[in-house]
Amino acid sequence: MIEATSLTKRYGPRTAVDAIDFTVRPGQVTGFLGPNGAGKSTTMRMIVGLDRPTSGRVTVNGRPYAEHRAPLREVGALLDAKAVHTGRSARNHLRAIAATHGIPVRRVDEVIGLTGLESVARKRVGGFSLGMGQRLGIAAALLGDPATLILDEPVNGLDPEGVLWVRGFARQLAAEGRTVLLSSHLMSEMALTADHIIVLGKGHVVANAPVSEILGSTGGFVRVRSPRVDEIARRLGQPDVTVTSVDATTIEVRGAQAEVIGDVAAALGVPLHELSLVQGSLEDAYLSLTRDEVEYRTGGVTGEPAGAASGATAAPVTEEVAR
């Protein structure tokens, strides 16, 4: 369990993390999202005692990280997979970390097995692929068999097989009752991996809810296709119903249920060629939550000016978010 209370970090005049409160619970994967510069890394660094809060506090399993006698046994973190001694073998790298906590060599071999590194355990870390490096970072985080795991961008740059492995592994760790905090820029990946999401924007918590709730809040819309779609659109025209024309035969309707639209079409005697509910994606929800929170904004992919009003298909995309 990780608990942050009024957690604040200032660098000179810049407030990187601004009095945030959140709880990361055991038994589930919590996704930690936010545009570049939102304060995710700073928060993670404070959780594991690499940065000191300016005010407020954050605890892991009830205590600040530094107050744990054997922190590796409480929390395992993958913050920078490249932070390894490249001349050592994977096994020796893990043995060196284990030695700092009196962790037996038996456990080193166990985590090598858990992360599928057996065949490369005696090879120099300097020659590792990105995927192997991430596995090694996760193996190091698991050494102390901690109840809490923090993985910063664990799938960054991995191939599909590596992404699948990290996803399954994170879910397995949560199923064992551990607290798993995972940051990523890949929203589609979070939708598949996380149970709960915390979104930061400019140092504030802009969302903290189960994935299902965040997806539900996107609302979605009903796509209607008919050769006489104009007649349906006219009949639906009410203040709380928004009808967007897509082409001559298709409209998107927000604020009216598919059943109501079907009944309207039947009453008019108009043929329907499509009546489908289109759910919002986590990506849509994320972009709408963080629309005002990005540090640097670029024009949309369609070339529209920064911050221009846009529909679901032309949301402004920032380089940072799309990374």
Give the interface with ligand ATP as residue ranges (CB under 6 A). Answer: 11, 14, 16, 34, 36-42
Q: How many C-beta atoms lie closer than 10 Å to residue 84's C-beta?
A: 20
Q: Which is nearer to ligand ATP, 79 or 125 (CB)?
A: 79
Residue that has been written with the tokens 């009752």 in this structure: 177
CA distances in angstroms from 290 to 34, 174, 207, listed in the order given: 7, 27, 9
Query: CA torsion sign, 41 to 57 to 211 to 114?
Result: positive
CB of 11 to ligand ATP, least distance (A): 3
Q: What is the DSSP letter of 307?
A: T
What is the amino acid identity at position 63? Answer: R
Q: Which is nearer to ligand ATP, 20 or 236 (CB)?
A: 20
CB of 105 to ligand ATP, least distance (A): 35
Q: Which is nearer to ligand ATP, 67 or 319 (CB)?
A: 319
Query: CB of 293 within 8 A of CB of 38?
Result: yes
CB of 152 to ligand ATP, least distance (A): 8
CB of 18 to ligand ATP, least distance (A): 10
CB of 172 to ligand ATP, least distance (A): 26
Q: How many C-beta atoms lie closer than 10 Å to residue 143's C-beta?
A: 21
| HEC readout, 157-197 | CCCHHHHHHHHHHHHHHHHCCCEEEEECCCHHHHHHHCCEE
Q: Which is nearer to ligand ATP, 31 or 144 (CB)?
A: 31
CB of 185 to ligand ATP, least distance (A): 7
Q: Which is nearer to ligand ATP, 39 or 316 (CB)?
A: 39
Q: Which is nearer to ligand ATP, 34 or 316 (CB)?
A: 34
> Residue 66 has which token pair?
């530094």
Instruction: Report the SS3 class of residue 162.
Output: helix
> Residue 14 has which token pair?
């810049």
What angle (nearest 5°) sits at the alpha carbon of residue 90, between those of residues 87 and 94? 110
CB of 37 to ligand ATP, least distance (A): 4
CB of 219 to ligand ATP, least distance (A): 27
Q: How far apart are the first and last CA of the chain?
A: 30
CB of 227 to ligand ATP, least distance (A): 48
Instruction: Report the SS3 class of residue 236.
Output: helix
Residue that has been written with the tokens 């893990």 in this structure: 94
What angle (nearest 5°) sits at the alpha carbon of residue 142, between those of residues 127 and 92? 40
Q: Which is nearer to ligand ATP, 149 or 224 (CB)?
A: 149
Q: Which is nearer to ligand ATP, 3 or 51 (CB)?
A: 51
Residues in the chain: 323
Q: What is the DSSP letter of 314?
A: G
Q: Which is nearer to ligand ATP, 189 or 252 (CB)?
A: 189
